[in-house]
Amino acid sequence: MPYRSSHDVSARIDHWWSIAKDDILTDPFGPMAAAGLFQIGLPGAGAALDSYAAIAFAEQAIAAKTGLLGLASGFAARQVIARFFISGFATGDQRAEWLPRIAAGEVCTAVAISEPGAGAHPKHLKTTAESRGAGYVISGRKAWVTNGPVADLFLVLAVVAVADGRKRYGLFMLPKATSGLVIKPMAALDVLAPATHCELELDGCEVPASARVGDLPDAYPVMAMPFRDVEDTVGTANVSGLLSWLLEKAATHTERSEENALRLGRIAGLVSLVQAASRLAVAALDGEGEDVPARVIGVRLLARDIVGEIRELLGQGATDDAAIARALAAFDMLASVAREPRKVRQIRLGDSTRPGNSTRPGNSTGPGNTIGSEQQE
């Protein structure tokens, strides 16, 4: 069962909702820590919670209860980063130092890969980590760091070498108090509140050798690229939860008629397909079932059509519900993120359907499947 952990997560979500629902945005993460939500997806709290499926189930539930994509994605970003990078690649000492504090809600982690004007393309990233003495000196700038303004620990991707004209990358742990690390505000994206973003200025930040995460010759293809796919896959749960919330709002704001009931029934059926596809896609991250990248593409495209139909329904009557307007704007905002990599994946999927292609449509083609437009040439 993809969401074998649903009972354990549901109990924590119900606890969180009981103490947070009256004022979610004033302190979005404090009640989550009190309810044990930051243990979800991490080792140490039991096998039922130690999965991407558990994170996705919680993310979906948060979006379905609140209609706040920013809140759900802000929570999930913390957990996915900790699970993927720290639980997956860190040394035993690094895990022992950070994972218990992350699970307790004492530490928020953020990953810094993208840069101003460069996005996340490995050919264009400029932040460097120069080996010096018993450690490294990190210099450069990062942008669009999710949860950056509230983060306590930054995972920074930086160039460690250039071989045959190709950049090689390492990932480094930088606590917020690291000398030379400056958090720079970015224009607020109100529709995504309480999720926050920032830029980082790294001015000769000295870190010990033990700050490097993973002993890899190049962290980009092993960490940065697969992480985008993991993040996008888990994020389908956020979309699924929002669709449930919007469906409920549409049913409340539209007048009773056979025609509207017919349309609402159609939307409910399509939402159920999104939910099923999301669960199967996330389950594959945990090694349950086949990895079919077409599912994630299908979820995004079907969700876009469903939101369009809900907009039409809501447009039938006068509604000035600010929460609905905010949710729809947040959906549009998140749909525009990483548009080019998603386009490349869709093109690759289309090419796989052509006669003579040895790969069955929609199935993973192996390690090269995640490279797309971000492969260095």
What is the tens place of the pLDDT at every residue in 126-176? 999 999 999 999 999 999 999 999 999 999 999 999 988 899 999 999 999
Distance in angstroms (rounded) separating the CA atoms of residues 216 and 98: 21
SS3 353: coil
- Cis peptide bond upstream of 28, omega within 30: no
Beta-bridge mates of residue 166:
163
For the stretch 315-373, pLDDT in tens is 865 456 889 999 999 999 888 776 777 777 788 888 888 887 655 555 543 333 333 33
Mean pLDDT calculated for residue range 72-99: 97
| pTM (predicted TM-score) | 0.90
* Cα–Cα distance for residue pair 230/79, rounded to 1 Å: 12
Q: CA nearest 174: which of 100, 239, 253, 111?
A: 111
What's the DSSP call for residue 179? T
- For 257, how many CA atoms within 13 A lie in the half-sphere containing its CB? 9
d(CA 110, CA 127): 16
CB 147 within 8 A of CB 74: yes
How many CA atoms lie less than 13 Å away from 343 in the CB half-sphere? 7
Give CA–CA dist 36/205, Å, rounded.
33
Summarize the confidence of residues 263-270 as an average pLDDT: 96
Which helix (H) or strand (E) covers residue 66, if one does?
Answer: helix 52-66
Question: Checking DSSP bridges between strand 197-208 and strand 166-175, what pairing results, if any?
Answer: unpaired
Assigned fold of 109-217: Butyryl-CoA Dehydrogenase, subunit A; domain 2 (2.40.110)
Q: Which fold has domain 221-372?
A: Butyryl-CoA Dehydrogenase, subunit A; domain 3 (1.20.140)
Tokens of 40: 């979800």
The span from the CA of 240 to the CA of 272, in Å, is 9
Does the pLDDT of residue 293 top 90, yes or no? no
| Contacts for 127-132: CB closer than 8 Å, 24+ residues apart | 127/156, 127/157, 127/158, 127/159, 127/202, 128/158, 128/159, 128/160, 129/156, 129/158, 129/159, 129/160, 129/170, 129/172, 131/160, 132/206
Average pLDDT of the residues in 11-26: 90
Question: What does the pLDDT read at residue 12?
Answer: 95
Across the chain, how many H-helices and E-strands are there? 12, 8
Q: Could you tell me which of 3, 25, 10 has the C-alpha nearest to residue 64?
A: 10
